[in-house]
Structure 1
Amino acid sequence: MTQTPHVHREHGVERPDPYAWMAAGGDALLDHLATERAAYDAATARLRPLAETLRAEMVARVPASEISPRWARARYSYALRTRAGAEYADLVRAPAEGGPDEVALDVVALAADAAYLELGVTVVSPDEDLLAYSVDLDGDEVYELRFRDLRTGLDLEEVVPRSYYSGAWSADSAWFFYTVHDDAYRPHQVWRHRVGTPVAGDVLVLEEPDERFEVQVRGTRTGDLVVLWSESNTTSECWVVDARDVTRGPWSVGGRRDGVRYHAEHRRLPDGSSDLLVVTDDDAVESRLMVAPVPDDDQDATSWIEARPESRSQHLLRADAFSSCVLLAVREDGEHRLVQVPHDDLAGTRGSTELEGDLLRSPRYDAAAVTVLQESWLRPGVAVSDDLGSGLLDRVWEEEAPGYDASAYLTERRSFPSADGTAVPATILRHRDTPLDGTAPALVYGYGSYGAVDEPAWDPALPSLLDRGVVYVYAHNRGGGELGQRWYLDGKLSHKQHTFDDHVAVADGLARDGLVDPDRIATRGLSAGGLLQGAVFSQRPDRWRAVVAEVPFVDVVTTMFDASIPLTITEWDEWGDPRRRADFDWMLAYSPYDNPPPAGSRPDLLVTGAVHDPRVMVHEPAKWVARLRETDPEWSPRCLFRVETGAGAHTGPSGRFGHLAYEAEVYAWVLDRLGVS
């Protein structure tokens, strides 16, 4: 492996980095990655029959064709329909008065000559004659924005070559708002495009100069406003634009105050007036609900009135307004719930109704009922129609899983004490014939960053592990949002070590309590979860039989010093700014690249990466693999690097079968390392 002498010097500390040359990219790195991929393919050739068996099992649990729950607009109802054997779902619609579906967007045709495809936005105009949609054909999250006339099925001439997630229409369907990212992949601008005119004439509506912030845009359910917001890890600001006269606005909803985040939802009131529902963490860690006036040229919205105070046991996520009520999305006791409250009693003092699940799509403001999706790890999804007036529930859709028997599997929640005594919850999944008596192998999955939550969702790949006697465990580590905002805050910045301690605590607890085989525990995670794997690989190599670190963020200090790398500046509030000595010290203490474990004590390791990944640059996992092999040459054949050298994204291949093939590869390696035939 090529090494080039290089030393980082910060705060009087020297950090040797002989693989720093990889960060420059170029042909030398590409050649190295091609060699790595060839080595991976050769090393795993013996596992291909197992991987193919697993893939066939997974595919068999996916219906040949399927259709999603429908969502209604004024003139049409819409759904996602997957044709037999297709990788991607098409957008279809049927007249509201009844009739057959017509294809609004043939996604299969878009992907016909592409190795990868991901849709960014798919937003139907208010008059339902136009569709704004964007596509990424490489996996680098650079989306080409297009406009389709749904009356003819033809795309209009204008194309925006570089756009990002999120978009919104004006009320008259004449204008479309979209976001653009800079060279660091930070969405920093909102533009307005007039349909039927050259893109060169598009209007810049908002630009965010602060490199810590990212902008987004969406329409409101009422159709009266367009909401723009800019958000960092700790602070946000919202603006509104008059959707009926796009030249009016943007007006700030509440200004910008460091350390305060808020989001706004528009509602109309029975007397003809309207206001904003604002969910904010201002003086409320788990957030509270405020009411604010709609700003305009003569009215600012700084006079917020509290409508629902903070509850320490219930994290308020979102407020969705409808003509008949407001639905509050909350997390409580680790579960996602919807709480229905009347407009005149947002605090719910007169009582409220609750329902597990989350809204599916964005129904109309005057909807009499909403569709709620309810999922679990081991049960295909179910959609219920919730009548907002009567509260009656009607099952309207069930996800198909051919040949799958949910009753063959068990789910339970346990908790294990972390290093500081904090109880860490974990969800344990297994086949009912697999005992928790210390004989079964286990795979522990973790993430634990950004307050993110892996909401339970049916995974047709998972039973192939459980059927072979593997216990699958989701570790709900601090840094995630499973137990609310406080749980998140206790696993970021100077508290980041808690995330790693929690993950190890779950594995140690499984072994200590005699639940799984202590010598056959594997662990897996992606991106920030890949960092988690790198950290526990270094800190407790004795704990694991095998480690899967997918697109891992492992060169923490070096990356956070380099402001030219995508996402670095926006991430300082999550990980720390190493220009500050205290931040530098805590990051250096756990950075996997800077802290390889002792030679001779390492578990088997599978690392993944992707050339087009804009979130974790491919040189990070490449450098880490090289460093690990250099520091333990005898172990190095047990370290594999699966890199996507062509089209491919942060989360792996696209398409429903393409991604299952990837999962089958990973599972085949895990099963082999755990000694499962």
Structure 2
Amino acid sequence: MTHPVVHKLHGIERIDDHAWMRDPEAVRDVLISERRRYESRIAHTAPFRQHLAAIMAGRTPETESSVSWRHGAFVYYTQIVTGREFGEFRRKRDGSDELLLDLDAFGEYVELGVREVSPDERWLAYSVDVTGDEVYELRFRDLDSMQDLPIRIDGTYYTGGWADGWFYYTVVDEVYRPCEVRRYNLETDTDELVLREGDRKFELTIKATRSGTHLLITAANRDTTEVWSVVDGLPESVGGRRPGIEYRCDATLDGLVTWTDDGHSEFRVVGVPPLPGERIHEVDCFDGYKVLTLRRGGDPLLRVLGDDGTSYEVHPPVPCGRIALVHNAEYLTETVIFETGSYSEPTQWWSLTLATGDRELLKENPRHDGYVSERLWAPAPDGAVIPITVVRRTDVPLNGTAPCLLYGYGAYEAVFDPTWDAALSAFLDEGAIFAHVGVRGGGEMGRAWWQAGRLSRKPTTFTDHIAAAEHLLAGRVSRIATRGLSAGGLLQAAVYGMRPDLWAAVVAEVPFVDVVTTMLDDTIPLTVNEWDEWGDPHRVEDFTWMLAYSPYDNIPAGDLPPLLVTGAVNDPRVLVHEPAKWVAALRAQGADPLFRVEVEDGGHSGPPGRYAHLHYEAEIFSFVLDALKKT
């Protein structure tokens, strides 16, 4: 079981002493033992963890409810009531208030996939994952009787939509890639294949447009898309598939609206002149208006375009804030709902009158004053400036006396817009500062920002993170712990070895660390369809740059900071053997990381549910604060 495996490729031999951990059966007892070891080693922090969790829970409303939104004859909303973890989906009309779906009824673990009410509001299509593997069981509920139909469809994925009495949904293959669109007719109990994507680099999603005129399927890899419009179950390609060209669509009553990077790398709406310095992310169509979601200079905003030629912008009302359209199911409407917030300000929901730009506050989460967010810019070695969002209590100065937790991700052009979090506020109340750095590889500064931290340029992500830490340590904070998840876990693992002197502690959650071996194995999820993000090590040039930074292939030695690693046996994105192998290799070199592994139910982002999440965050923050106070 423990015999080394020698990997030979491109004239290079890599000796893998822990390859046996790839076998789930062989490694299971080890993982159970690791969890027991972890629990034993953190036992002394129990009082402080309980203290943090109590503060977090005390700042979480006993009953949390969303803003309500109209869909047809009903008004819908979600809520989590006192003592519950997952929440309810409800609707109201004429004084009635109906419970449509209670997620807590599914047990200790549940993740919701699709949740789509039919156009006639008779049926609810919903799907659930009860293990954490992100494969969902699709079900249909009769909203007159509140009973589920006997039909249950396994192996489905996140997206779906209704059209002409059918429900269209996506199905995954053996490596969890959504590769088929199928449709099911409730009246005839008929299930049909609509489209299969044969290229393993592409994944399928599907949506019904709010105009009700189109059902759209999108096939996408990292830099190419194709969209089909489905009529009577027959898909017709909208713009074909051209390598390196992305386009997406929404619909009005008159036809499709397309936005694309063809001719403008940061995307343009076809027929609308693009503006410099902007990255268009989404276009939502309403009667007489298009609402563009975009970013400029690192900040999000909305632009409303009227069919009459009018145009205006809507910005977050607070510094370093977020803004996004939410819960807009109606096409024929005079108003839309958007939400705002930040790390230091609560979520607010607003009604926007499309014709005038007037806005009305609909709902606000409880306010907790005494915190402030601000933007810093760190110089990178190549002259770029890296955005850092800093949040702190107003009585904690940014003068080099307070410790800091630095968070980073930096992949897939992803953007993490800031949201108030009760767990983070408890951390800040300990006199620490939180900083979120928008390293290249992410999308905070547009498409070019992603390209500058992708493929052969991936090490830029790591040096950006280091540059941000050095900028903060230059008279702004006293010491730094660093944290990240998944691709952000790779970032933490890389900087852990590159600059161990910078960190009071490192938290690498479900880290993607065995980069070369994983990207050579096309039998596991997220390999073939991610070669365009990380590289394909079957090619010698890709192999060379990936091997140079792969944490598992570059185990550091010497004086290393405290390290907390997490993993989950049901995680389909970073298989648990990756962090397990890395931990074993580090221990072989004399390091002694903590390894928190979910050995039963649990997925990529840790425990689900609001209170389980708070207890998890209390564990992470107690580890971080303990290290920051010792340094």
TM surpasses 0.5: yes
The alpha-carbon deviation at position 115 of structure 1 amounts to 2.6
Residue 376 (structure 1) aligned with residue 342 (structure 2): yes
- Equivalent in the alignment of 1:163: 156
Partner SS state of residue 510, structure 1: helix
2:313 partner amino acid: T
The alpha-carbon deviation at position 196 of structure 1 amounts to 3.9
Q: Distance in 2 between matches of 1:397 and 1:650?
A: 31
- Equivalent in the alignment of 1:33: 31
Partner SS state of residue 428, structure 1: strand
User: How do residues 378-527 of structure 1 correspond to structure 2 at under 5 angstroms?
Assistant: 378-400=344-366, 405-406=368-369, 408-512=370-474, 514-517=475-478, 520-527=479-486
The alpha-carbon deviation at position 48 of structure 1 amounts to 1.1
Q: Distance in 2 between matches of 1:400 and 1:123?
A: 29
Partner SS state of residue 100, structure 2: strand
With normalisation by structure 2, the TM-score equals 0.97
Partner SS state of residue 552, structure 1: coil
The alpha-carbon deviation at position 548 of structure 1 amounts to 0.1
User: How do residues 604-615 of structure 1 correspond to structure 2 at under 5 angstroms?
Assistant: 604-615=562-573
| CA displacement, residues 292-347 of structure 1 (integer Å, 9 cap, x when unaligned) | xxxxxxxxxxxxxxx123333110111111112111111112122110111253xx
Which one of the candidate residues 354, 358, 362 is aligned to 2:328?
Answer: 362
Residue 258 (structure 1) aligned with residue 243 (structure 2): yes
- Equivalent in the alignment of 1:631: 589
- Equivalent in the alignment of 2:260: 280
Check the 8 A contact 1:140/1:612 in 2, yes or no: yes
Q: Distance in 1 between matches of 2:329 and 2:104?
A: 26
Check the 8 A contact 2:428/2:434 in 1, yes or no: yes
Check the 8 A contact 2:224/2:244 in 1, yes or no: yes
1:106 partner amino acid: D
- Equivalent in the alignment of 1:137: 130
- Equivalent in the alignment of 1:304: none
Check the 8 A contact 1:67/1:80 in 2, yes or no: yes
Q: Distance in 2 between matches of 1:65 and 1:642?
A: 30
Q: Distance in 1 between matches of 2:561 and 2:188?
A: 59
Q: Distance in 1 between matches of 2:7 and 2:313?
A: 58
Residue 594 (structure 1) aligned with residue 553 (structure 2): yes
1:100 partner amino acid: S
2:182 partner amino acid: W
- Equivalent in the alignment of 1:189: 180
Q: Structure 2 unaligned segments of length 5 or more: list them.
A: 317-322
- Equivalent in the alignment of 1:303: none
Residue 211 (structure 1) aligned with residue 191 (structure 2): no
- Equivalent in the alignment of 1:221: 210
Partner SS state of residue 128, structure 2: strand
The alpha-carbon deviation at position 560 of structure 1 amounts to 0.5
| CA displacement, residues 74-122 of structure 1 (integer Å, 9 cap, x when unaligned) | 2100000222221122001011xx313211112222x2xx231110010
2:539 partner amino acid: R
User: How do residues 638-653 of structure 1 correspond to structure 2 at under 5 angstroms?
Assistant: 639-653=593-607
Moved beyond 4 Å, runs of 4+: none
| CA displacement, residues 450-483 of structure 1 (integer Å, 9 cap, x when unaligned) | 0000011111111111111111100110011111
Q: Distance in 2 between matches of 1:185 and 1:595?
A: 29
Check the 8 A contact 2:298/2:387 in 1, yes or no: no
- Equivalent in the alignment of 1:296: none
Check the 8 A contact 1:217/1:228 in 2, yes or no: yes
The size of the alignment, in residue pairs, is 625
Residue 65 (structure 1) aligned with residue 63 (structure 2): yes
Q: Distance in 2 between matches of 1:352 and 1:515?
A: 38
State percent identity of aligned pairs: 46
1:55 partner amino acid: A
Q: Distance in 2 between matches of 1:545 and 1:66?
A: 36
Which segment drifts farther, 307-316 or 606-615? 307-316
Q: Distance in 2 between matches of 1:435 and 1:676?
A: 20
The alpha-carbon deviation at position 565 of structure 1 amounts to 1.1
Check the 8 A contact 1:465/1:667 in 2, yes or no: yes
| CA displacement, residues 459-513 of structure 1 (integer Å, 9 cap, x when unaligned) | 111111111111110011001111110111111001111100000000011112x
The alpha-carbon deviation at position 351 of structure 1 amounts to 4.2
Partner SS state of residue 629, structure 2: coil
Partner SS state of residue 422, structure 2: coil
Residue 179 (structure 1) aligned with residue 170 (structure 2): yes
Partner SS state of residue 252, structure 2: strand
Check the 8 A contact 1:316/1:330 in 2, yes or no: yes
Which segment drifts farther, 333-342 or 601-610? 333-342
User: How do residues 229-268 of structure 1 correspond to structure 2 at under 5 angstroms?
Assistant: 229-242=218-231, 246-247=232-233, 249-268=234-253
Which one of the candidate residues 535, 553, 556 is aligned to 1:576?
Answer: 535
2:5 partner amino acid: H
Q: Distance in 1 between matches of 2:541 and 2:399?
A: 44
- Equivalent in the alignment of 2:488: 529
Check the 8 A contact 1:381/1:457 in 2, yes or no: yes
Q: Distance in 2 between matches of 1:265 and 1:676?
A: 54
| CA displacement, residues 553-588 of structure 1 (integer Å, 9 cap, x when unaligned) | 000001001111111001100000011111111111
Q: Distance in 1 between matches of 2:378 and 2:312?
A: 34
The alpha-carbon deviation at position 355 of structure 1 amounts to 3.8
Check the 8 A contact 2:336/2:351 in 1, yes or no: yes
Which segment drifts farther, 611-620 or 452-461? 452-461
- Equivalent in the alignment of 2:319: none
The alpha-carbon deviation at position 604 of structure 1 amounts to 0.5
Q: Against the structure 1 CA distance between its residues 51 and 645, is the aligned structure 2 distance closer, same or farther, given a 3 Å change threshold?
A: same
Q: Distance in 2 between matches of 1:207 and 1:343?
A: 36
1:91 partner amino acid: F
Check the 8 A contact 2:157/2:169 in 1, yes or no: yes
- Equivalent in the alignment of 2:77: 79
Q: Distance in 2 between matches of 1:170 and 1:363?
A: 15
Q: Distance in 1 between matches of 2:461 and 2:527?
A: 20
| CA displacement, residues 208-227 of structure 1 (integer Å, 9 cap, x when unaligned) | 00000000111001111100
- Equivalent in the alignment of 1:298: none
Q: Distance in 2 between matches of 1:106 and 1:546?
A: 40
The alpha-carbon deviation at position 358 of structure 1 amounts to 1.1
Partner SS state of residue 462, structure 1: helix
- Equivalent in the alignment of 1:154: 147
Q: Distance in 1 between matches of 2:603 and 2:630?
A: 30
The alpha-carbon deviation at position 380 of structure 1 amounts to 1.1
The alpha-carbon deviation at position 197 of structure 1 amounts to 4.1
1:105 partner amino acid: L
The alpha-carbon deviation at position 410 of structure 1 amounts to 1.7
Q: Distance in 1 between matches of 2:465 and 2:341?
A: 25
Check the 8 A contact 1:324/1:389 in 2, yes or no: no
Check the 8 A contact 1:341/1:353 in 2, yes or no: no
2:237 partner amino acid: S
Q: Distance in 2 between matches of 1:467 and 1:49?
A: 17
Check the 8 A contact 1:625/1:641 in 2, yes or no: yes
